[in-house]
Amino acid sequence: MKDDVPPNVYLSFLQTRDFASGMTFEVRTALTPMAFAGAVQRVVAGNDERVLVAEMRTQEEQIRETLGTERCLRAW
């Protein structure tokens, strides 16, 4: 829906420790996606208690939010 796609870059966690703006992870599961949320939080906390898992949502929710905003803006 967008005309131009901005440039993106992939940075390995091992190449930089500056994640002030956050990190995004995608997890694939055969289970109901949000039923898996507690397990994801436990695994992350088990690796580093200082890392906060926030804004968990399914891919379907993410797509709906993104496209909904773009559709609303295009209507103007």
Instruction: Tell me the per-residue pLDDT of 2-60, one tens digit each, with 9 for 90 and over.
Output: 567 778 777 777 777 666 667 777 888 888 888 888 998 999 899 888 888 888 888 88
Where do the domains of the chain lie?
Answer: 33-75
pLDDT of residue 74: 65
Q: What is the pTM of this model?
A: 0.56
Phi-psi region of 7 (alpha: psi -120 to 50; beta: other; left: phi over 0): beta
Q: Measured between alpha carbons, how far is 61 from 2 in angstroms, rounded to an integer?
A: 19
